[in-house]
Amino acid sequence: MALFLSIFPIVLLIWLMVKKNSMPSYVALPITAALIYAIKLFYFGDDAMLLNATAASGLVSTLTPITVIFGAYRRHPQMAGHHQPEPDCPIDDHRLVFRLYD
C-alpha cells in the first residue's frame, strides 16, 4: 500500500497533464503537491513541522533563480546606459523592449 501511495501522485500528475482535456500545470501541480502533503502527513505520519519546513525550503529554492533572472532583466537598461525612467513615471516602456541594435 505504501508503494502505491508513493507512486500514485506522480501517475495522477502525468494523467492530469496529458489527457485529452488536460489541466494546466499551474492547477495540476498544486493539486498534486497538496495530495503528497496529505499522504505524507496522514498515512506516513511525518511531523507537520518537518513538512512545512521542507515546503518552505522548496519554495525558496525554486524562487531564487527566478528572482535572479528577473533582477538581471530589470537592471539591464541601467547597466547598458540606456534611458533612466522619470521618478514619477509608473511604467518605463523602454524596459519592455529588448534592444538588439543600439
CB 15 within 8 A of CB 4: no
**Given this model, what pLDDT does residue 41 score?**
94
- pTM higher than the cut 0.75: no
- The 10s digit of each residue's pLDDT in 44-79 is 999 999 999 999 999 999 999 998 888 888 777 666
**Given this model, what pLDDT does residue 6 score?**
94
* C-alpha cell recorded at residue 64: 531564487
Please say if the pLDDT value at position 101 is more than 50.
Answer: no
* C-alpha cell recorded at residue 62: 525554486
Chain-centre distance of CA 36, in angstroms? 17
- The 10s digit of each residue's pLDDT in 12-47 is 999 999 999 999 999 999 999 999 999 999 999 999
Amino acid letter, residue 15: W
* C-alpha cell recorded at residue 97: 523592449
- The C-alpha angle 83, 84, 88, rounded to 5 degrees, equals 130
3-class state of residue 99 by DSSP: coil
Residue 2: band (very low, low, confident or very high) from pLDDT cuts 50, 70, 90: very high
**Given this model, what pLDDT does residue 69 score?**
87
Higher pLDDT, 20 or 96: 20
**Given this model, what pLDDT does residue 81 score?**
60
